[in-house]
Every structure is written in C-alpha cells, then in structure tokens.
Amino acid sequence: QVTLMESGGGSVQTGGSLRLSCEASKYAVSVSDAVGWFRQAPGREREGVAMINSGGNLIYYADSVRGRFTISRDNAKKTVYLEMVSLKPEDAAMYYCATGFSWSGNWENPELYSCWGQGTQVTVSS
C-alpha cells in the first residue's frame, strides 16, 4: 500500500508562487503509477489540476492552470512536484495528490484514483 504525503502549501499573495511536493512512503515499492494533483475549495467538488504518468512523458493540465502550473516527478526520490506560479485567489484550495489511476477514464475523475494523501492547504490573498 502506497502512502502519500503532500507538503509545500502556504499562504501567498496574488501573483506569488509555491511548490508542492507529494512524497510516497519509504515502504512503498515505488510511485510507479501515474500521479495526479487535485484541489478542493470549500463547497466545491474536487477537481483535477494536473497528472503525470510514471515515465514523466505524458502530462495533462486543467485548462484553468495550464501555463502557470508545472507537474514533474523524481522517481528516485519517489516524489512528484507541482510548481505553481502567478497564483490567483481562485487557486486557493486544499491540494491533494493521488495515485493508483486506473486508466479507465478521464484523468480528471478523482474516482479513478485509489490512493490519496491528506492534503496541503494553499491560500492566495488578493
């Protein structure tokens, strides 16, 4: 069972930057599957932000973050990153990483992921 832990969240002003990390537990075989980043703001559904496959050569972004967010991974460190720049107030949310994607549907569907971290909070003030 892979355990994921997010870190790097915080409070920034509009236009600021943050880098989130998603680290797999040391007891995991490897983060060998695709990893997705999701976010959920209060009162809203969880939405897909970005996803990267195991080899790092297949990457998806939500339209709302394309050009501002960059997902990457370091399999040796069992860590996936989400670099976020030009942050906007609407980016504020709890951010989660997830793995175990079933590849049976749209990468943005959270129900297709089997393992989730606890989340890290991102706050963006105007």
Q: What is the tens place of the pLDDT at every residue in 77-119?
A: 889 999 999 999 999 999 999 998 888 899 999 999 988 999 9
Euclidean distance between CA atoms 84 and 69, whole angstroms: 4
Higher-pLDDT residue of 30 and 51 is: 51
Give the C-alpha separation, 47 to 41, whole Å: 9
Best CA proximity match to 97, nearest among 112, 78, 75, 81: 81
Residue 77, SS3 per DSSP: helix
Distance CA 30, CA 34 (A): 11
pLDDT tens for 37-68 read 999 999 999 999 999 998 899 999 999 999 99
**For residue 41, which of 102, 122, 99 has the smallest C-alpha distance?**
122
Helix (H, G, I), strand (E, B) or coil at 76: helix
